[in-house]
Chains A and B, each alone.
Chain A
Amino acid sequence: MATRSISLLVNGRRYEREVEARLTLADLLRHELALTGTHVGCEHGVCGACTVLIDGRTARSCLTFAVQVDGCEVTTVEGLAPAEGELNVLQQAFQDHHGLQCGFCTPGMLMTLTELLRDNPDPTESEVRDVLTGNLCRCTGYAGIVAAALEAARRLRVQQGS
């Protein structure tokens, strides 16, 4: 099977790999780059656990082949925290508001909300719920996740205002 060489930036670090065309970005991240923070639930675009940012936009990494992101910049959940052992504002809000239980959906939730809060720093609850329709959570009932998103938006606005 023919392979192709790809080069991409993941969380600011450059990776070059020879990959099979059918390798998904999710599997590249998890199996080749050992970035297992991105989770794989359904592998057909329904659950959102595998959400990452490709050139700043959220995407299903299970529906994207690694060859398609040649030359792109990918951000995964590992790229969110400012330093080892620390949490960013959104992650801290998840912890404070019980935005996770088992944590399986959390990486996808964080990436989806990272895009939302960047594009819309003051979202309404219904805007938060609308973007979260693309991410399934089987544990929390979403209430804690929505509360965390709104609280993170508030803290980020205060931070930016000061």
Chain B
Amino acid sequence: MKPAPFDYHAPRSIEEAAGLLASLDNAKVLAGGQSLVPMMNFRYVIIDHIVDLAKVEGLAGISVTGAILRIGAMTRQRDLEFSPEVAQHCPLLREALSHVGHRQTRNRGTIGGSLAHADPAAEQPTVCAAHDAVIEIASARGTRRVPFAEFAVAFLTTAVEPDEIVTAIEIPLWPAGHGYSFHEFARRRGDFAIVGAAALLDLAPDQTVRRASLTLCGIATGPLRMTEAEQVLTGKRFDRGVAQAAAAAVKAITPVSDIHASAGYRRHLAEVLAFRALRDAAARCSARI
């Protein structure tokens, strides 16, 4: 057996789950298990109590209310990938999911689990950053809502306290016909990105950029919004030159350097992928009446 011994709890409600986390020492939430269980098998983490959310009522589901897409934290990545609501309202998420692991891991992996794990190169947190998502977190002390910008705080560390549970993700939607694109470079398909880029564009019929969102992953401890590049774009007529100028603006970043890639290589990739994501997002904008 690989993991160290632990006790297993399978609560049926959020209240019960929150009560367990509030009362047990060294407890950890198990969602889809596709990040946590490898760490347990390696004994990178040794946990005394596993609180499995699989049987908790009401934690999975996808709904659209007004301009908000709400996703239950236990929604499996595979269900998001094939959701008509996601495809229609948040196509960036759908495109990003095709880079998340493999079909066998997406069948079990959840969006809430990916957010709580917060790998710096992970695609789902990147989409949350791009869309200014709000993360709903519950505990025995109550429920709070954290903007994504305050959610990822450090390497593999989020604003979620040990007694708290991510319960839902709320994604503010962009207008129908907006452009989107997710590009990433990984050594093998399904691996974590060395660098990834997510772009959202809202263009007027004359191609003027009303609003732009550009986010990179794999370069820092979490996804990074490229606000300078967004400023370069906003208010301009979108063309190749503007996209190149915006992509050049991302070179100001100081990427991490590790066994997978040097900082210089990541900086190069960041510019190339940012340009491709902006170019493809613009091509997908359908001029609105």
Contacts and interface: CB of A to CB of B under 8 A. Distances in A.
A, B co-complexed: yes
A59 B5 contact: no
A20 B107 contact: no
B104 A58 contact: yes
B64 interface: no
Contact of A63 (B8, B10, B33, B103): B33
A57 B108 CA distance: 9
A134 interface: yes
B230 to A, nearest CB: 32
B265 interface: no
Given A62-B41, A133-B189, A20 B105 contact: no
Contacts of A116: 103
Interface string B37-72: 110111000000010101000000000000000000
B37 A64 contact: yes
B141 to A, nearest CB: 27
B107 A22 contact: no
Given A2-B7, A21-B5, A21-B8, A60 B50 contact: no
B19 interface: no
Contacts of B4: 22
A27 B37 contact: no
B175 interface: no
Interface majority SS (helix, strand, loop, mixed), chain B? loop
B147 interface: no
Interface in B88-135: 101-105, 107-108
Interface in A39-67: 43-45, 48, 51, 54, 57-60, 62-65, 67
A149 to B, nearest CB: 14
A112 B103 contact: yes
13 contacts: A22-B1, A22-B3, A24-B1, A45-B105, A62-B37, A62-B41, A63-B33, A64-B108, A65-B8, A112-B103, A133-B189, A134-B101, A134-B103
The 9 closest A-B pairs by CB, nearest first: A134-B102, A21-B8, A44-B38, A57-B107, A63-B37, A58-B104, A133-B189, A22-B3, A134-B104
